[in-house]
Amino acid sequence: MRIVVPVKQVPATDAVTMDPETGTMVRSAAASVINPLDLYALEAALRLRDSSGDGDVVALTMGPPPAEAVLREAVSLGCDRGILLSDTRFGGADTWATSRVLAAAIERLKPIDLVITGERATDGDTAQVGPGIAAWLDIPLATYVAHVTGVDGAAATVTVERLVEDGYQIVRLSTPALLTVVKEIAPLRLPTLDGVMRARRAEFERWGAVDLAVPAEELGLKGSPTRVVNIATPQVTREGETIDAGDEAGVAQAAVRIADLLEDAGVVR
Amino acid sequence: MSFVWTIAEHHAGRLREVALEVLGRGRPLADALGTRLAAVVIGHGITEQDTGRLIAHGADEVYVVDDPRLADFRCESYSGVLAHLIRTWSPEIVLAAATTSGRTLMPHLAIRVHAGLTADCTELAIEPDTGNLLQTRPAIGGNIMATIKTPRHRPQMATVRPHASRPPQPDPDRSGRVIAVPMDTQLEACLDDRTQVLGYRTDAADFANLEDADVVVTGGRGLKRKENFALLEELASRLGGEIGATREAVDRGWIGYPHQVGLSGKTISPRVYIGAGASGSIQHLAGIKTSERIVSINLDPDAPLHRVADVAVVGDLFEVVPALIAELDRRRGAARSGD
């Protein structure tokens, strides 16, 4: 089976700068890592590949050349192949234009069985790119997947449990399908020595706009329906009160004050 | 014709409360644009009572698509139906709640109708000169607030964070129109059977519906041991609350992932969030910042959670939480004996 995992490079720190002209994020300013939630997508893909006994896992990332680092990390964990989608025309893409490019790359990798993504990226936090790719590819979509309970190669289906507000929704999708997974999917593996050696030697294909045959007006900032028009840093501190509960009187005062707040909020049963 | 649409979630034969909140977010936008506000309900077993509630809470029009094959949320079918309705009626704005369904459906739909979409908005407004929708959302773990607009594409789509606002007061005298959308051949063609819903598992052990809870009592590393979550459960039971946990507590195996709050867990906006022994990492704070009230109990005076709390208690949770439980019980006893 072939599984494609799109991954994203995100800032390692919370220090991210914004381009004051376009309002888009400037990524090169901060050290970058693989989106932590994408590691669960890689983990799920590697497990499915290994239990199926054959096939490959292809990691994809869209970004400037240094984004290759996340492909190297994916290979160190066990991915078979990595492809960098890099072109100056991809820059400034919102989720619409990002999913357009990723879907076009996945088209080129067909036939595929599954696309697996993380639930969302920890920087943009939109959770929109995974569903967007499914829409472009016109393949069934299951988001918030916590468990893959069955893969039926002959029937070309996958059965999963989606973590929703009031429990798990159990769905069966015909494949190829796209899954976005949550952390509950599986505990993460560590890179193996062999994987690290392979990653060090790995060379990655680079695909640009021409390779993907996406019209220029659908790429990058130009192809993005949304525009960031303002960035503000919110005031994080609330005008709260602090109670020192270092002694018995303090503990009693804290209990009274919290109970007052709870009553005021109308939540006491 | 309504130009501001809201998606009203209907699940297991019931209208979800969050549908009313989204109407509350849409009403001022429709008023600012001088247009009508609609609720679109897709599901099965949608009743007159449901449509009546939507009208009482601000809808001028309610579009109803009712079919047994739409009883369960299936992204492709719902997205197909909505894309068809949007092409037919051309709304300016489409809003949905940022629930698991909303955050699945809307990005799928945005591709199908070539629209701009902004996730998890905390504020929505109309730009006076252009009539464009200004969508403000937290990004980078809540460290910045970005305002986004969609200048050229229609509709302008946004999901709004559930529970970040109260539903509007219902007005039973409001009138509105119900439009039953017939399942014609075009809508039939939107149904997609490549996804089958086999069922639900709602009795999972160690599960928590944090998203819909009014109170979330969250434990972190300061709890020290798995068993100590029982203390928080005692408190939560008196408040009808649910138990949340920091990533550290989940990673230590003290409690299951459905309880995890923060950047790699759930984003919540309860009426009251109580953090006990949760220091409040940036990642954790990102998941709780839109809580209505925040209480922090932590021995460390420098815990970041204290800085965002309405009431910050510098103290031992193993003293403060039992004292709080006793205080709540004392008040309840006093209220009873006063009856």
Q: How many percent of chain A have pLDDT more than 90?
A: 84
Q: How far apart are CA B301 and CA B282, in angstroms?
A: 17
pLDDT for the residue B139 = 78
Partner A contacted by B152 (CB < 8 A): yes
In a domain, A228, yes or no: no
d(CA A231, CA A91): 19
User: What domain range is B276 assigned to?
Assistant: 215-337
Using one digit for the tens of pLDDT, what is the confidence trace for A156-190?
999 999 999 989 999 999 999 999 999 999 999 99
Say if residue A158 is in the same domain as residue A249. no
What are the chain B neighbours of A251 within 8 Å (beta carbons)?
A: 315, 319-320, 323
**Structural domain span for residue A10:** 2-218
Pairwise CB contact (< 8 Å): A131 & B104: yes
pLDDT band at A24 (very low <50, low <70, confident <90, very high): low
Count residue pairs from A and B with Cβ separation < 8 A.
Answer: 297
B86: domain CATH number? 3.40.50.620
Q: What is the mean pLDDT of chain B?
A: 94
Q: What is the CATH number of the domain that holds B257?
A: 3.40.50.1220
- Render B165-192 in DSSP notation, one character per residue: SPPPPP-TT---EEEE----HHHHTT--
Is A159's Cβ below 8 Å from some Cβ in B?
Answer: yes
The reply to whether A243 and A199 lie within a common domain is: no
Residue B201: inside a domain:
no
Q: Given the structure tokens 């809540």, which residue do they identify?
A: B142
Judged against a pLDDT cut of 70, whether residue B300 lies above it is answered with yes
Nearest to B122 by CA among B105, B146, B106, B143: B146
99-138 of B, contacting A, C-beta below 8 A: 99-101, 103-112, 114-120, 134, 138
Confidence band, pLDDT 50/70/90 cuts, at residue B163: confident
Please check whether residue A240 is in contact with residue B290, taking contact to mean a CB–CB distance below 8 angstroms.
no
Q: Is residue A225 part of a domain?
A: no
- pLDDT: is A24 or B12 the higher one? B12
The 10s digit of each residue's pLDDT in B216-265 is: 999 999 999 999 999 999 999 999 999 999 999 998 999 999 999 987 88
> What is the pLDDT, as a whole number, of residue A26?
60
Are residues A173 and A212 located together in one domain of the fold? Answer: yes
B143 has a pLDDT exceeding 80: no
Q: Which helix (H) or strand (E) holds A258?
A: helix A248-265
Q: Which of B78, B108, B109 to mutate to test the interface with A (most CBs of A within 10 A)?
A: B108
A234–B142 CB contact, under 8 Å = yes
What average pLDDT does this structure show over B269-289? 91
**What is residue B243's predicted lDDT score, i.e. its pLDDT?**
97
- Best of A181, A262, A264 to substitute, by most chain B Cβ atoms within 10 angstroms, is A262
Q: Quick one: pLDDT at residue B162?
A: 85
Using one digit for the tens of pLDDT, what is the confidence trace for A133-163?
999 999 999 999 999 999 999 999 999 999 9
Averaged over A230-240, what is the pLDDT? 75
Q: Which of A59, A62, A13, A105 is nearest to A199 (CA)?
A: A59
Query: Is the model's pLDDT at A94 over the cut of 60?
Result: yes
- Total domains in chain B come to 2
Q: Are residues B106 and B222 in the same domain?
A: no
Cis peptide before B155 (omega within 30 of 0): yes
**B279 pLDDT band (50/70/90 cuts)?**
very high
Pairing of strands B2-11, B36-43: parallel
> Please, which residues have CB within 8 angstroms of residue B128's CB and are 6 or more apart in sequence?
none
CB proximity B269 to A under 8 Å = no
The answer to whether the Cα torsion of A188, A194, A196, A200 is positive or negative is negative
**A48 with A149, same domain?**
yes
**pLDDT band for position B2 (50/70/90)?**
low
**pLDDT given for residue A55 in this prediction:** 92
Percentage of chain B beyond pLDDT 90 is 82
Question: Would you call B107 and A131 a contact, using CB atoms and an 8 Å cutoff?
Answer: yes
CB-nearest partner of A242 from B74, B285, B314: B314
A151 and A202 inside one domain = yes
Across the range A231-240, mean pLDDT stands at: 73
β-bridge pairing B144-149 and B133-139: antiparallel
Domain identity same for A77 and A196? yes
| pLDDT of amino acid B285 | 87
pLDDT at A13 over 60: no
Do A200 and A251 lie in one domain? The reply is no
Residues B265 and B129 in one domain: no
Q: Report yes or no: A267 at the B interface, CB cutoff 8 Å.
A: yes
Provide mean pLDDT across the span A52-65. 94
Quick check: A34 pLDDT over 90? yes
Q: What is the pLDDT of residue B1?
A: 58
Picking from B59, B3, B1, the residue whose alpha carbon sits closest to that of residue B33 is: B3
Domain count, chain A: 2
Chain A nearest-CA distance from B61, in A, is 28
